[in-house]
C-alpha cells in the first residue's frame, strides 16, 4: 500500500498544464531546449502532447483562414 508521501512524489513528476503548454508551443515553433525535451519524455504523457499538438494545429489553421478572410474582405474581393 502506498503512503501519502509516495503518492505526492509521484504526482510531482507529472507535467503541469503550463509546462505542457509551453513545451508544446516551443516544439511547435522549433525552439524546444534539450533539457525541456528530456523532461517531457521522462515525465509527460504522449497522449497529452498529441492532443495539445492537434489543438495548436487547429488554432493555427483557423487563424490563417481568418486572416485570409479578413484580407479578402478589406480588399473588396
pLDDT tens sequence across 26-38: 988 889 888 988 9
Report phi then psi at 16, rounded to 5.
-80, 165
- pLDDT score of 4 more than 80: no
Degrees (nearest 5) of the Cα angle 53, 10, 54? 5
pLDDT tens sequence across 41-70: 899 899 999 999 999 999 999 999 999 999
Residue extents of the structural domains in the chain: 4-75
Question: What is the pTM assigned to this prediction?
Answer: 0.69
Query: How many CA atoms are closer than 13 Å to the CA of 38, on its beta-carbon side?
Result: 3
Amino acid at each position: 500500500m502506498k503512503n501519502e508521501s509516495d503518492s505526492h512524489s509521484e504526482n510531482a513528476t507529472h507535467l503541469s498544464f503550463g509546462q505542457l503548454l509551453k513545451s508544446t508551443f516551443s516544439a511547435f515553433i522549433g525552439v524546444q531546449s534539450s533539457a525541456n525535451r528530456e523532461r517531457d519524455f521522462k515525465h509527460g504523457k504522449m497522449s497529452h502532447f498529441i492532443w495539445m499538438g492537434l489543438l495548436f494545429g487547429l488554432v493555427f489553421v483557423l487563424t490563417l483562414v481568418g486572416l485570409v478572410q479578413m484580407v479578402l474582405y478589406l480588399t473588396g474581393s
